[in-house]
Structure 1
Amino acid sequence: MINRSAFAIRPGMRKGFTSRSPIPTRIVSNEEFPPPPQTPAQANVEHLTDLYAERAGPKLGLTRRHFLNTTGGMAAALLALNDVFGKFFDVGEAEMFDAAAFVERKGEPFFIFDVQTHYVSESYDPTNAEAGRKGAVAKQGLLALRKMARRAGLNPKLAGDTGTMADLSWQNFIKEVFLDSETSLGLISTPPGPYPQEAVVPPKQMT
């Protein structure tokens, strides 16, 4: 059977895309599934953000690029979203020009809800049998993903890893997700395994 949803570079995709807007205006991909193309509304948000930046930046002695890296640039992006989708964000044009005004109106600390978190249960594959099964999720394979992220420098704090399964444990999960970061709420999901009792994270441990 052909997987028609498999990821592949397609016309119009840009690898390593970086949004020039403070708020990304298109869906990106983790290379598991291809992202949908940018919608006309998203393109309009991007266009209006640029217009706000071109108007406000010079008044502050800033280039458009520099302006978009300031709190004023974030205010411009929020204004553009309001223009396209209707007023949702409580922001005014004054925040584009006055950083103090932006800080004053930013409200309560943000709430982060992580909808996909993982760890590896201590009970998963105690004999390492999955390492020899084709297409299986081996513990060392999961650990290799973290090591890859460490080598790539994606998170400098990973330099302190032990390089063992302890890095993927429940204890380290709690430390990194809820103590070392600003995440307020998280949903646990699990990679596939011999279901249900022997999953990477068994259902009874996910509630």
Structure 2
Amino acid sequence: MADTERPASPTPEERKKLDAEAKKKEEEEQSKLPYQWTQTIGDVDLTAPIPANLKGRDLDVKITKTSLKAGIKGQEPIIDGTFPHPILPDDSAWTLETTKSGKELAIHLDKSHKQEWWAHVVTSAPRIDTSKITPENSKLSDLDGETRGMVEKMMYDQRQKEMGKPGSEEEKKMEMLRKFQAQHPEMDFSGAKMG
């Protein structure tokens, strides 16, 4: 019977080398695109150099919920394809900006789902490894009410736990017990255990 060993996992040094090679390949693929792009958890921004003599009316830009087509009228589009996830077209926009080296088309896309990293702007473009994205620190004020409440509760519970104190759920139970005790002074709760 043949010995079928699984290949060993790469050592940390090998993993570092493989990651570096993958990052280099990714950077090469991205540098060949006719545009540059960046993203946050909530939006995508891309820029493309445009000849300095062009005006906004010389450009053809169409942004929909699921696709983007942008370029110079009468020429092959700079970008044309379907998004990996939907956007909010009413909150997205494009501008023609003057830079030191000429002009650039700047496109801002507002993501519909604010919790997804995009592997590419359009599905026909080379992908990036989204697992390697280091998110920017977000502020609590950036979060919607429900998410913010959840995060604040988690932070409070974590601080309480670190100090050896009860978390918010335990505090609620203890408060309910105190109220019940106040309403029923005839009952003996001296041996009651919480948990």
TM tier relative to shorter chain: under 0.3
TM-score (norm 1): 0.22
TM-score (norm 2): 0.22
Give the structure with the higher percent strand. Answer: 2
